[in-house]
A and B are shown apart, each in its own frame.
Chain A
């Protein structure tokens, strides 16, 4: 392989890494952004469901041994149910007692720490790995694995089906109505409580999907959630709260920026952990320059958020 070809090859590989990272960020941020738009508060504990999903899949796939994909399906279901149950136990109680925005955010932060340390207590401070093997294959000079393909396909499938759900289906339209004007939505007979439960269910399911795929790509540790915490918020704010296409665009921008950033950091001889600075800068710049996020640029629908 000539030098030029080698450079071309590594650039392609960097872009593919960015797309994979972006897909994972999209899967975890899309649930948060929907929840945020509907509930009007950022659920700081959302990232923990990412790690919980990965551990549940590990439990079913490698301890009960029912295989990776069936394990993932059960884990998505259970994580979704857990997320819904936590909404009912904590946030619905708070809302019915008339809690302010501040109290909801504080409770979600407490919940996040609670869940993280319970995971740590159960799993301990070691890494776990899935036994499932993913066959690598080559397209041209690029090496892909079935796992990477699955990550990209999962993100694309979630994006397309959510868009279809929100724009074409009655339930999805009701959801958008509830998010933009709760009082009017209730007056027109929308069952708000069921829709809220549905969103928490979906958020948990997508967090579990993203978490399992990320864990299969790296390793299963309780810190999985902390690792995506910053990019997750950067994606949902850069994309514009509640916007699916905004989150999709923002996730790939951030994913590519991170994978290029990692290359740049290692070329400069700095620790690659500094990639969190990319999320931080993206957040600060968005909040200063474009507080409504990309959604106000890419779609005609104005996201009114107040």
Chain B
């Protein structure tokens, strides 16, 4: 087993960027009670923005920044019609937005490479000429750093007075507006921020796997992020990471088990069938997740 180290490192990196995505969903769903079925679209916006810039010769670092800006603006834009309405309309409109974005990316061959996507996206920091293992370790380090930064941002935000407004909106929107809080503003900010973080994950993803194509950003991916977010624990920061790690382990485990048992099933189909089933099971049996929501730190008694 010489290839066990890259296998584990790759799993860790995948869990890392999924943890960032789950964290961004957690800020929207866990803390503020907003349903977003378009996570994959903001992920895609970030990935494509970064891929288009860096393949045209701009520095890889700039790709991350622009990806965050583009995805964040996309989030703010979709929040204009979606945030004022009830949560079921929000679910529909984000779902429809994601499908529309995917169709546009698929058909705009002059800007986004069409069905084939964009190939040859350079990594953020390139260590492939040293050794493949070193390169993977560096990438794992980058994604963990990104997650730490966003986790810190998320922790500070959700334990601030603004975070208390978000929790109030989740529990009772009417009560929050009675206390004079601007619900729509708060929801738009968290939606924009969540999308922007998803964009950063998208940029890292494009730079790590080296290409983007529309078929990578399907609804099933959004649902995987949902499972991570719910299973890890809604309204917890570390829950995102725990959830991502558990789901990625299950995915990798079934892939190994399938090869081991020689099942005549398509790997992709099997993975997404399990994704759907797992989501239903989690929502029925464990909707509160593994980790529990903590107290708001800023109001703790000394």
Contact = CB atoms under 8 A, between A and B. Distances in A.
Interface string B103-115: 1101100000000
B88 interface: yes
Contacts of B29: 102
B174 interface: no
A114 B280 contact: yes
Contacts of B33: 102
A37 to B, nearest CB: 12
A40 to B, nearest CB: 8
A40 B275 CA distance: 25
B283 A99 contact: yes
A105 B88 contact: yes
B3 interface: no
A113 B223 contact: yes
Nearest to A272: B107
A271 B108 CA distance: 9
A107 B96 contact: no
A246 to B, nearest CB: 16
Contacts of A94: 283-284
Prevailing SS type, chain B contact patch? helix
B107 A273 contact: yes
A112 interface: yes
Contacts of A7: none
B103 A273 contact: yes
Interface stretch (A74-82, A116-124, A170-178, A205-213): A116-124
A287 B97 CA distance: 13
Contacts of B265: 121
Interface stretch (A65-73, A159-167, A274-282): A274-282
Interface string B65-96: 00000000000000001100101110111011
Contacts of A200: none
Interface in A94-133: 94, 97, 99, 101-103, 105-107, 109-118, 120-121
Contacts of A106: 35, 226, 230, 279, 283
Contacts of B35: 102, 105-106
Interface stretch (B152-160, B250-258, B266-274): B266-274
Contact of B81 (A99, A113, A276, A287): A287
A34 interface: no
B272 A117 contact: yes
| Interface band, chain A | 35 or more
Contacts of A105: 35, 87-88, 91
A98 to B, nearest CB: 10
B276 A112 contact: yes
Contacts of A114: 272-273, 275-277, 280
Contacts of A273: 103, 106-107
A42 B230 CA distance: 20
A143 B219 CA distance: 39
Interface stretch (A13-21, A191-199, A229-237): A229-237
Interface string B270-297: 1011011111100110010000000000
A283 interface: yes
A64 interface: no
Contacts of B269: 117-118, 120-121
A283 B279 contact: no
Contacts of B238: none
A230 B100 contact: yes
A113 B275 contact: yes
B26 to A, nearest CB: 13
Interface string A32-66: 00000000111010000000000000000000000
Given A107-B284, A271-B107, A287-B82, A276 B99 contact: yes
Interface of A: 40-42, 44, 90, 93-94, 97, 99, 101-103, 105-107, 109-118, 120-121, 226, 229-230, 233-234, 237, 270-271, 273-274, 276-277, 279-280, 283-284, 287-288, 291
Given A105-B91, A113-B272, A118-B269, 17 more contacts: A42-B92, A102-B35, A106-B230, A107-B283, A109-B219, A112-B219, A113-B220, A114-B273, A114-B276, A114-B280, A117-B269, A233-B92, A276-B99, A276-B103, A277-B103, A287-B89, A287-B93
Interface of B: 29, 33, 35, 37, 81-82, 85, 87-89, 91-93, 95-97, 99-100, 103-104, 106-107, 219-220, 223, 226, 230, 265-266, 269-270, 272-273, 275-280, 283-284, 287
25 contacts: A42-B91, A99-B287, A102-B35, A102-B87, A103-B287, A107-B279, A109-B223, A109-B279, A110-B223, A110-B277, A110-B278, A112-B276, A114-B275, A118-B269, A120-B266, A121-B269, A229-B95, A230-B100, A237-B89, A273-B107, A277-B103, A280-B96, A283-B96, A284-B93, A287-B81
6 closest A-B pairs by CB: A114-B276, A110-B279, A113-B276, A271-B107, A117-B272, A121-B269
